[in-house]
Amino acid sequence: MPIITDISKAVVLLKEGGIVAIPTETVYGLAGDALNIKAVAKIFAAKNRPSFDPLIVHVSGIEQAHSIAYLNELAIFLLEKFSPGPLTLVVPKKSVVPDLVTSGHPTVAIRIPNHPVALELLKESGLCIAAPSANPFGYTSPTTAAHVDEFLGSRIDAVLDGGACDVGIESTIIDLSGDTPKVLRLGGLPYEELTEVLGELPFQTSSSTPHAPGMLTSHYNPGISLRLFKSYSELLCEFNTTDTDRVGLLYSGKEIKANFAINLSREVVLVEIASKLFHALRSFDKTHIDVIWAHELPEVGLGMAINDRLRRAQS
């Protein structure tokens, strides 16, 4: 599987029904023509993804979103305010969208990515692009082209390298298909920014029959068991009173001396932690530790989304 930088080459592959990993501001996505059912099937096969877990469709703008979905005034308002960016909306779909994309649901998840390579690819190709995270199903999402290459190998046609992802965790998903908006997944758009315009929102962030990606209870498997503490201080207290030779620490705050430890942010900056989280989780796989110890963050801003990923990683 070649790693390429030529957007035009990626466009040709996608138009031919191929699948290509592409960069977005959140994580790398495994892209295929969303309206080509054979290409969509290749995405599911490459990821070993169950067909009941729907895909997000990436579009170049609101005009293109209209071609595959029914957008009400609220949907248009939110796209205008927060897009391009890490926001996904679940809205009623048009018949042109294959049922495989939406796992048979009458809704489709759409977003406009905020990455220059992804946007140029969308505009040059003219395609609506289905692009779940470019990793085997259930594992931590990739934030560099090298991550994709390591895990998907020869299963896909190419990786379009656009550098490391800035946000580092997936998009926030809001369901607009019901009577009131509902959070289906916490992500790169902080919850507080949404509540400023929508007020308090109900949550449905896990399901056995999900309407959007990232809702399964067990997800983001780092390949090693993970123990999650309520706080940095609780983790540190346990660390100081326990034999931790085979423990890997994943934390944020003052330095802790350990055989293997990753400090995501000495100043506990949430944006920095989010951008490093998946890369850090993946790096433990190359060590000889038995368990990862991590701790939750304050339930504000991106801290809510980071905690959500850590809880699912320990499932």
* Predicted local confidence at residue 217, as pLDDT: 57
Is the pLDDT score of 45 beyond 60?
Answer: yes
Task: Assess whether 152 and 248 both reside in one domain.
Answer: no
Task: Assess whether 157 and 291 both reside in one domain.
Answer: no
Task: Assess whether 230 and 148 both reside in one domain.
Answer: no
| Beta-sheet strands, E only, within 120-259 | 129-130, 158-160, 172-175, 182-185, 225-229, 247-251
Residue 244, token pair as written in the block: 């931790």
Residue 126, token pair as written in the block: 């003219």
Which range of residues forms the domain containing residue 287? 225-313
Task: Assess whether 236 and 162 both reside in one domain.
Answer: no
How many whole angstroms from its chain centre is CA 236? 29
Based on the structure, what is the number of domains in the chain? 2
CB within 8 A of 297, min separation 6: which ones?
A: 252, 268, 270, 273, 303, 306, 307
Query: Mean pLDDT over residues 26-53, rounded?
Result: 94
Query: Mean pLDDT over residues 20-40, rounded?
Result: 97
At 212 the three-state DSSP class reads: coil
* Predicted local confidence at residue 203, as pLDDT: 84
Q: Is the dihedral of CA 252, 255, 257, 259 positive or negative?
A: positive
Task: Assess whether 59 and 188 both reside in one domain.
Answer: yes
First to last CA, the chain: 32
* Predicted local confidence at residue 23, as pLDDT: 98
Q: Give the Cα separation of 189 and 87 in Å (integer).
A: 6
Q: What average pLDDT does the chain have?
A: 92
Task: Assess whether 59 and 133 both reside in one domain.
Answer: yes
Is the pLDDT score of 219 beyond 80?
Answer: no
* Predicted local confidence at residue 210, as pLDDT: 63
Query: Mean pLDDT over residues 26-49, rounded?
Result: 96
Query: Mean pLDDT over residues 18-45, rounded?
Result: 97
* Predicted local confidence at residue 244, as pLDDT: 82
Task: Assess whether 51 and 139 both reside in one domain.
Answer: yes
* Predicted local confidence at residue 139, as pLDDT: 83
Q: Give the Cα separation of 62 and 84 in Å (integer).
A: 10
Task: Assess whether 180 and 274 both reside in one domain.
Answer: no
Task: Assess whether 163 and 248 both reside in one domain.
Answer: no
* Predicted local confidence at residue 47, as pLDDT: 93
Per the model's pLDDT, the better-predicted residue between 215 and 310 turns out to be 310
Is the pLDDT score of 275 beyond 80?
Answer: yes
Residue 206 contacts residue 216 (beta carbons within 8 Å): yes
Is the pLDDT score of 218 beyond 60?
Answer: no
- Omega into 142 within 30° of 0, i.e. cis? no
Residue 124 contacts residue 31 (beta carbons within 8 Å): no
